[in-house]
């Protein structure tokens, strides 16, 4: 009985095979998933692992990451327009006009037009005076009004420019007042029926 037990233990000892140890990972760096010469592949720093349990595969401190088109600089400027699309358009609405700004602008324009008016009257008076029109009118007026005593001519440079200045000043006042009143009327109309719509577009 003892001999049989010893023989069985001897057979179990001979048939037992210890499991082999797992193969150690290779120290060589694995090949990157993307080719190194790819323009979209950049190298980034690997995280540093401290302690005694450092994997064997972390021998290199850099790795390759493919960033795609995000790593490439944008070639188009912000003002560039995509090909095949028309110019951009914007629809705006003028809701209110400042009456004070309209008054100032109308006053400046009225003064400018006043000087333009005086220049135009001066040029016209000079042309007609050169043609002798005023002399004929003055002689006819003297014959009709004062047959015996020659008096002051009916049309002269002083009278022409004086009357023109008075008319220009009246025009300045009327133009400024009407423009300001028009701004108030437009604001009321815009509140009731909507303002003036404008469409702005880029150049072709």
Q: Look at residue 117 and tell me whether its pLDDT is greater than 50.
A: yes
Question: Stretch 126-132: mean pLDDT, rounded?
Answer: 88
Decide if 103 contacts 179 (C-beta within 8 A).
yes
pLDDT tens digits along 138-173: 888 777 776 555 667 778 888 899 999 999 999 999
Q: What is the pLDDT of residue 88?
A: 86
Q: What is the pLDDT of residue 85?
A: 73
Say which residue the tokens 């037009």 belong to.
113
pLDDT tens digits along 26-83: 545 555 555 556 666 666 666 655 555 555 554 555 555 555 554 455 555 555 555 5
Helix (H, G, I), strand (E, B) or coil at 81: coil
Nearest to 115 by CA among 169, 76, 153, 154: 169
Q: What is the pLDDT of residue 193?
A: 86
String of DSSP letters for 12-57: HHHH--PPPPPPPPPSSPPPPSS-TT-TTEEEEEPPP--SS---TT
What is the C-alpha separation between 157 and 151, in angstroms, rounded? 16
String of DSSP letters for 89-104: EEEEEE----HHHHHH
- Dihedral of alpha carbons 92, 94, 100, 101, sign: positive
Estimate the crossing angle of helix 99-130 against helix 157-193, to 10 degrees.
150
Q: Look at residue 134 and tell me whether its pLDDT is greater than 60.
A: yes
Q: What is the pLDDT of residue 162?
A: 92
pLDDT tens digits along 18-41: 555 555 555 455 555 555 566 666
What is the C-alpha separation between 109 and 164, in angstroms, rounded? 17
Put simply, whether the predicted model's pTM sits higher than 0.85 gets the answer no
Q: Look at residue 86 and tell me whether its pLDDT is greater than 80.
A: no
């Amino acid at each position: 009985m003892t001999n049989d037990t010893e023989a069985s233990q001897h057979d179990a000892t001979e048939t037992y095979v210890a499991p082999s140890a797992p193969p150690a990972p290779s120290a060589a760096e694995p090949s990157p998933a993307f080719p190194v010469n790819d323009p979209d592949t950049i190298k980034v720093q690997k995280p540093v692992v401290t302690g005694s349990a450092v994997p064997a595969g972390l021998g290199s401190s850099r790795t390759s990451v493919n960033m795609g088109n995000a790593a490439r600089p944008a070639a188009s400027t912000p003002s560039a327009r995509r090909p095949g699309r028309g110019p951009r358009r914007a629809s705006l609405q003028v809701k209110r006009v400042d009456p004070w700004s309209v008054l100032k602008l109308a006053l400046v324009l009225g003064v400018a037009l006043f000087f333009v008016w005086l220049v135009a009257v001066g040029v016209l008076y000079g042309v007609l005076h050169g043609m002798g029109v005023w002399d004929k009118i003055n002689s006819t007026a003297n014959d009709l009004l004062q047959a015996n005593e020659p008096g002051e001519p009916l049309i002269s440079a002083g009278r022409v420019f004086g009357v023109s200045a008075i008319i220009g000043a009246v025009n300045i006042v009327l133009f400024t007042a009407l423009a300001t009143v028009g701004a108030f009327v437009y604001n009321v109309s815009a509140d009731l029926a909507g303002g003036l719509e404008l469409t702005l577009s880029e150049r072709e």
